[in-house]
Structure 1
C-alpha cells in the first residue's frame, strides 16, 4: 500500500479560486483504493462555508516554531467521498475573507502552512511515501523536508512531486524577509536553491528540491523551457528537464454531464444532441434577454477577464464580430477595461450580446449546454478546463494552439472530416477572426460536418481516469 499526501492551498468543495482546487479535490478519488492511500492537507480558512466548517472534527494540536515566533497548529479532519482531508488550523494566519491577499503576508502564511503540514505527520501517525505539492504556496514543503531530514529519521526517504499549475505565480519576496519568516539556514538562499534574481522564490525552491516536477499539460511542459512562457525560470526548467513532465488535467465527468446535470434545463447526450441541445439555447436566450432564434450561432465565453485569456484580441474584433450572424454570451469578472468592454457591447448590440459580469456556477453550466461554440484565445494556458467542459457538452471550442488547449482540441480538417474544434496558431487578431468566421461558415453551410465535430468532441474521454493512470506511472517511477 503506497501512501500519498497531497498538500495544497485549495480544494473543491471546501475552497476554490481556480482550476487548482478542481485537481486537488477530484484527482485523489481516482486512485485504486487497494493500492494507494491518498490524503489531502489544506489550510482551514475562516472564509470556508459554514456547512463544511461544522463537519470538521478535532484531531490534535501542538505548538511549532516559525523561526522566532511560536505558533499554534490545530489539526482537524473530515472524510469526504472516501478521502481523508486534514485542515491546518491557525486563526492568526487563515482569518481573511479570501484565501489569498497581500503577497508578503501570503508568503508568511504559506511558509507556516508548509512547515506545519510536515510537522503534523508524526502526530497523525501517517508517513507518506510521496508528498505531492501544488503551486508556489507549497513550494517550501520539499525545502523544509530536506531540512528536517538531518536529525529526524521519520522524514528520511519521503519523495516529493511538485506540480506547477501556472508558472506565472511564484511567491517572490526579498531574501532577508523570507529568511526571517522561514527560519531556514542561510545556505538555502543561494542562486542554485531558493534565490532567483536577488530575491527569494518559493516556487523555485520547490522545483529545485522536488524529486519530480510536473505541469498540467505536455505542451506547457515544453513551452516553459522557452523564455516567452518560462517567466524567468526557463533556465531552471531546462536544467530539470529530465525530471519534468506534463500530465493534462481531467474533468469530473459525474459533475459535468449533460445527460444528468441538475443545473441545465434540458438533458442530452451524444445520441440526441441534434434535437435536445438547442432547447437549452432557447431557454438561455429567454433568461438573458437575447433575441429568440434557435438557428443563430451562439458563442460562449466563461473566463477570468484578463490579458492571459486573450481578451485584448477579443476587444479588437468585437465590433466586427457583432456584424456577423452570431450571439455572444460572456460570464466572468476581471480587469475593469474588459468588464466595461463587454458592458458596452451588450448596450450597443442589445439582443445579440449578453454581458454577465459576475461568476455563477449554474450560469456557467447553462452556457456550456446552450452555446454552439466556445471562444478561448489564450495567450498561454497551462491546461485549461473550459475547453474540456465544452467538448463534454457538445459545444465546439475555438482556441489558440497553446499549452493544454493544443493538447486537448484537435483542429477540424474538412478533407478528412476529423477534429473536435477550431484553432489558430499565432497570437494575432486577424488569425483569430478568420478562424471564428471559418467556424461560422461550417456551422451555417455544412451542418452535417458541424454535427460530426460535436459528436467527435463528445466522444473524447478527458475524465480523471486517464490522468490518474499517468500519475500512477509517475509515482511508481519514484
Structure 2
C-alpha cells in the first residue's frame, strides 16, 4: 500500500511545527512504514536552509490567472523509511513561518492563498507523475482541503478522481473560511475556471463563503476525527453558554458522514522511547528556565514586564525550598485551552483560585505557553498577584520536557480537546493529569484510575468543578500517598500506541 500525506506542518522537518498536527504527521508515517506501507509526506517548503534537498522536478500551475513554477524536492534523511517531500515557491518561504497573522476582518487570507497554491501544485505533481499515485491520499486539516476540491471539480485532474481520499480533522474550530469571489484571497480568484458545486463547498453560516474544511468533509471517502469521543461531540451543535464545543457549524455534514459510514474516530498515538526517564531535578529546571528567559529577553530591545516578573519569581522559587506539589501546564494560550481559568468564580478569576488552592498545600504552579496577546496579559497579571505562580510566556522544548518529568500534577482544563498530546507526554513521564473530561482527554484520563477529571453543564459549573477537583486531588496526594502512587503508576503504564493507530488507519481509513 502506498499513502501520500498532505499537510501544513510536519515535525520531522525543522521549523515546520506549530501545533499537535505536526506531531501526528511526524509519527504516524513511521508507524505505517513499520507495517509495510510506503509513505510520502508533502508540505510547503518554508525555507529549510540547512537541509539537503534532492531535486524531483518542477510543475507549472495556473493560479490567480498567472503561471507559477513550483519545485519539488525530496529531503535527504538517514535512518528513516518515510519520504519527506517539500514544494518550494517564494510565497511559502517569504514569511519565514508556517502561518501568518492577518489583520482583523481578513481571517486566513494570506494562508488560504498560500495553501491553495500548494494544493494545486500537489495535484499537478500527481497528474504528471512527479508524486507517485497513492492507494490512499491522506489530507490533514483545512490547509490541504483544496486538493480534494481540485480533484473532484477540475477537469485537468479527472485522472485522479478515483484516488481514495481520507481527511483528518485535527481542530474543527479552524476551518479556513474565505469568500467565493470578489476578493484577492477567494476561490474564484485562485481558480477562475473551476466549475464547482457551491452546495458542497459553501459555509453553512455564510453561504457566500467557501469553507475548505466542509468541502473536504463532503468530498472525502473517509473522515477521521482524532479521538472516539471527539468524533461523537462534533455531531452536536456547539453551545457556548453551556460550555460545549461541538461541530462548530459542520455538525450536519458530519452527521451525514456518520450515516454514510465514513466517519471514523481514531485516537492519536504517543511515542514511548526505551530510555525516556532522565535524571533531572528542580535545579536543572530552574537553570533551564533562566537561560531560556534570558534568550527571550534578548530578542527585544525593551524588557517585557512578563519576563521581568517571571525572572523575579524564579529567583524567589530558587531561594525558598519547595515542600509542596509542583503543578504544571504546557500548551498554547488559546481560548480552547484556558477559557475555564479565565472565568469569574466568587468574584475572582479561576486562575487566582487555582493558585490559592495550590498555595494551601504549599505548592507551586508553572505555566509554559504563549498565543493570544490578551490571554498572555491576563496570565502575566495573575503571576504578579500570586507569589506561587510562574508564567513563562513562550515555548521551549527543553523546559517542557523537564516540566513533564518533574511535575506532580499536570493541569489541562481544555474547553474542547480533539485528542491532546500534552496529557500523554505527562502521563508517559509518570505525572497524573487533571483534565476536563472532553474529547481525547476523556479517552485517555480515567478519574481516580490514572488521573483526575471534571465536567459540568455550564461554564460556571465547569470552572467551579475544576476548583473542587483540584482541591480534592491535592488533598488525596497529601493524605493518601499509597493511592496517589498507584494512580501515578497507572498513568505511567498507560499506552496509546502508534502501532495500534497505524493498524486502524490501514483497516478503517485507507480502505
**Contact kept? 1:258, 1:369, Cα under 8 Å:** no
**Which runs of 4 or more aligned residues in structure 1 lie more than 6 Å from their structure 2 counterparts after TM superposition?**
none
Q: Deviations over 1:401-432 (max 9, x none)?
A: 111101111111xxxxxx11100011422100
Cα deviation, residue 184, structure 1: 6.2
The alpha carbon displacement at 1:13 in A equals 3.1
Return the alpha-carbon distance in structure 1 between the equivalents of residues 188 and 158 of structure 2: 26
Of residues 315, 318, 331 in structure 1, which corresponds to 2:368?
331
Aligned to 1:77: 74
8 Å contact from structure 2 (residues 409, 434) kept in 1? yes
Specify the alignment match of 1:252 in structure 2: 271
Work out whether residues 390 and 396 of structure 1, in 8 Å CA contact, stay in contact via their aligned partners in 2.
Answer: yes
What is aligned with 1:4? 3
SS of 1:192's equivalent in the other structure is helix
Contact 1:215 1:382 in 2 (8 A): yes
Q: Distance in 2 between matches of 1:92 and 1:305?
A: 28
1:146-176 per-position Cα deviation (integer Å, ceiling 9, x unaligned): 235x566742421000000000111111111
Name the structure 2 match of 1:431: 465
Give the Cα separation in 2 of the matches to 1:337 and 1:169: 19
- Residue 283 and residue 109 in structure 1: after superposition, are their counterparts in 2 closer, same or farther (change >3 A)? closer
Distance 1:435 1:92 in 2: 48
How far did 1:194 drift? 4.1
> Which of the numbers 304, 308, 319 marks the counterpart of 2:352?
319
The alignment status of 1:219 with 2:229, answered yes or no, reads: yes
Contact 1:10 1:24 in 2 (8 A): yes
2:53 is matched with: 56
Whether the 8 Å CA contact 1:189–1:195 is kept in 2: the answer is: no
Determine if the alignment matches structure 1 residue 234 to structure 2 residue 264: no
Q: Distance in 2 between matches of 1:66 and 1:314?
A: 44
- TM-score, normalisation: structure 2: 0.82
For 1:165-180, what aligned pairs fall within 5 Å after superposition?
165-176=170-181, 177=183, 178-180=186-188
Structure 1 counterpart SS, 2:199: coil
Partner of 1:96: 95
**Residues 64-105 of structure 1, C-alpha deviation per residue, up to 9 Å, x if partnerless?**
212511110101111432211111111134311222223222
Partner of 1:474: 508
Match for residue 359 of structure 1 among 386, 395, 402: 395
Indicate if the aligned counterparts of 1:305 and 1:311 stay in contact, CA closer than 8 A: no
TM-score when normalising by structure 1: 0.88
Written as runs of structure 1 = structure 2, the 5 A alignment for 1:368-383 is 368-383=404-419
Q: How does 1:9-408 map to 2 (within 5 A)?
A: 9-14=8-13, 15-33=16-34, 35-46=36-47, 48=48, 50-52=49-51, 55-66=52-63, 68-80=65-77, 81-101=80-100, 102=102, 103-121=108-126, 122-124=128-130, 126-148=132-154, 150=155, 154-176=159-181, 177=183, 178-183=186-191, 187-196=195-204, 197-198=206-207, 199-228=209-238, 229-241=246-258, 242-254=261-273, 258-260=276-278, 265-266=279-280, 280-281=281-282, 283-284=284-285, 288-289=314-315, 290=317, 292-293=320-321, 295-313=323-341, 316-323=349-356, 324-325=360-361, 326-350=363-387, 352-408=388-444
> SS state of the match for residue 97, structure 1?
coil
Q: Aligned to 1:59, what secondary structure does the other structure show? A: strand
Structure 2 counterpart SS, 1:127? coil
- For the structure 1 residues 460 and 85, does the alpha-carbon distance in structure 2 shift closer, same or farther, using more than 3 Å as the test? same
Cα displacement (A) at 1:358: 1.2
Unaligned runs of at least 5 residues, structure 2: 103-107, 239-245, 290-313, 344-348
SS in 1 for 2:323: coil
Q: Report deviation, 1:195.
A: 4.8
How much does 1:338 deviate? 3.0
The aligned runs of 1:434-449 (5 Å cut-off) are: 434-449=468-483
Q: Call closer, same or farther: CA 1:243–1:300 in 2, change over 3 Å.
A: same
8 A contact 2:57–2:73 mirrored in 1: yes
In structure 1, the gaps of 5 or more residues are 267-279, 413-418
Contact 1:128–1:158, Cα closer than 8 Å, also in 2: yes
Cα gap change, 1:230/1:67 in structure 2, threshold over 3 Å: closer, same or farther? Answer: same
The 1:6–1:186 alpha-carbon spacing in structure 2 relative to 1, beyond 3 Å, is closer
Q: CA deviation at 1:456?
A: 0.4
Give the secondary structure class of the aligned counterpart of 2:496. Answer: coil
